[in-house]
Amino acid sequence: MKNLLTDVAGLRVGQADDAHVATGVTAIVFDEPAVASIAVLGGAPGLRDTALLEPEMTVGTVDAILLSGGSAFGLDAAGGAMAALHELGRGFAVGSVRVPIVPQAILFDLLNGGDKAWGRDTPYPDLGYRAVMAAGDSFTLGTAGAGYGATTANLKGGLGSASMKTPSGYTVGAIVAVNAVGTATIGNGPQFWAAPYEQHGEYGGLGLPAPFPPDALTPRLKGGPRANTVIALIATDATLTKAECKRLALSAHDGLARAIRPAHTPLDGDVVFAASTGQRPLAGGVIDLTELCIAAADTLARAIARGVYEAGALPFEGALPSWKDRFR
C-alpha dist (Å) from residue 67 to 27, 57, 77, 218? 6, 22, 9, 30
Task: Give the model's confidence band at 225: pLDDT under 50 very low, under 70 low, under 90 confident, else very high.
Answer: low
User: To the nearest whole percent, how much of the chain has pLDDT over 90?
Assistant: 93
Residue 126 lies in a domain: yes
Which comes out higher in pLDDT, residue 22 or 60? 22
Whether the pLDDT of residue 226 is over 80: the answer is: no
Question: Which CATH number is 265's domain given?
Answer: 3.60.70.12
Q: How many domains does the chain have?
A: 1
Give the pLDDT score at 223.
72
Running DSSP on this structure, what letter comes out for residue 29? E
* SS3 at position 160: strand
Residue 223 lies in a domain: yes
Residue 328 lies in a domain: no
The 10 Å CB-count burial string (b at 16+, else e) for 151-174 is bbbbbbbbbbbbbbebeeebbbbb
Give the pLDDT score at 235.
98
Residue 194 lies in a domain: yes
Residues with Cβ within 8 Å of residue 300, at least 6 apart in sequence: 162, 174, 176, 232, 234, 252, 255, 256, 259, 272
Residue 277 lies in a domain: yes
Q: Residue 62's domain spans which residues? A: 5-317
Whether the pLDDT of residue 232 is over 70: the answer is: yes
Residue 323 lies in a domain: no
CB contact at 8 A, 318 and 113 = yes
Residue 327 lies in a domain: no
pLDDT in tens, 120-131: 999 999 999 999
Residue 264 lies in a domain: yes
Task: Give the model's confidence band at 219: pLDDT under 50 very low, under 70 low, under 90 confident, else very high.
Answer: confident
- The answer to whether the pTM exceeds 0.95 is yes
